[in-house]
Amino acid sequence: MKFLAKTCMAALVAVLCVSGVAHAKKLTLRLAHPMAPGNNVTVGYEKFKEILEKKSNGEIQVKLFPNCMLGSDRVTTESAQRGNLEMSSSSTPNLASFSKSYMAFDLPYITFPENQQKLYAALDDGPLREKLAQVADSIGLVPVMYSEFGYRSFTSATRPISNAASYKGLKVRTTDSPVEVAVAKALGMNPTPIAWGETYTALQQGTVDGEGNTYSLLNDAKHTEVLKYATDSQHNYSMHVLLINKKFFNKLPKETQDMIMEAGKEALAWQRQESVTLEQAAEKAFEDRGIAIYRLSADERKELIDMTRPVWDEFKSDIPQDLIQLIVDTQQ
């Protein structure tokens, strides 16, 4: 792990050294993220690049570094914090390493797919958006896009999974999020935090039995080559937050700032629609591969909700209660 971290950092430093921030007139924004080619987050940033370069008549160039090219989202977010990289995208669970406030979205069943449009509206305008902007500001960053990531569901490479009882003893890969680890424990699993880029190998070698993630990401990252079983637990929602270094952003002309934010808004609207299509396609790809998807009954889902609800109390002192309430309000 230490060797891998050093290698990722070396690669990041090398790229940053040879890639200038700006030419005589053109501004170059380097944007790093961990998502696989074709993923809903990846295509969203490709759309952001397309829109921003068009809006600026080519005066702003966006250079994309996807698929952990510069390391994990934690590595690239640290680099964006330091100002060595302009932009980084991280999942909300991995942002918990920078601010515990982001753990609010990790809380099990704090949001539900049927209320997604209400959540989007709050993220786009209002107190929830303002609160999250304050959180990003506290860690030296400015949010540009709350990219749709989706709802995580549990999957397994070793044994069938269905209702809550079937999860017991499963070695499951988690992110670094303490909430995600606590959820796995609440369901009787054995959580193992592993970097995203190492998860495929961990599944292949039996280091873990399964993982919880969106079908689209698992399909895009070819985890379907090793996975055999899945549920539609949809136990937690995640976003991929596109962030830009605050000091860098504040030094830009107002016109440039507005262009970046407008491009983010337009790209996000497109990406959210595309995410629905890609998740449906991924679900079909699961079925075509012979991966059995167990559909939870209403009672079985309620059992998962009840078993994991104590996790909320466990992190009551770590997550601002007003932020939790703002999210809960979107589900009414």
Element (H, E) at 180: helix 178-186
Instruction: Give residue-wise pLDDT tens across range 158-215.
Output: 999 999 999 999 999 998 889 999 999 999 999 999 988 899 999 999 999 999 999 9
Please give the domain boundaries of the chain with CATH numbers for all domains.
Answer: 2-101+111-148+239-277 (3.40.190.170), 153-236+282-329 (3.40.190.170)
Which pLDDT value is given to residue 25?
Answer: 67
Nearest to 261 by CA among 104, 60, 33, 3: 60
Q: Give the chain's residues under pLDDT 50.
A: 1-8, 10, 13-24
> Which tokens belong to 37?
């080619």
pTM of the model: 0.87
Cα–Cα distance, 53 to 71 (Å, whole number): 25
Q: Which residues contact 99 (CB under 8 A, 6 or more apart)?
A: 135, 138, 139
CA-CA distances (angstroms) from residue 86 to 32, 37, 135, 172?
9, 21, 18, 34
Instruction: Give residue-wise pLDDT tens across range 93-132.
Output: 899 999 999 999 999 999 999 999 999 999 999 999 999 9
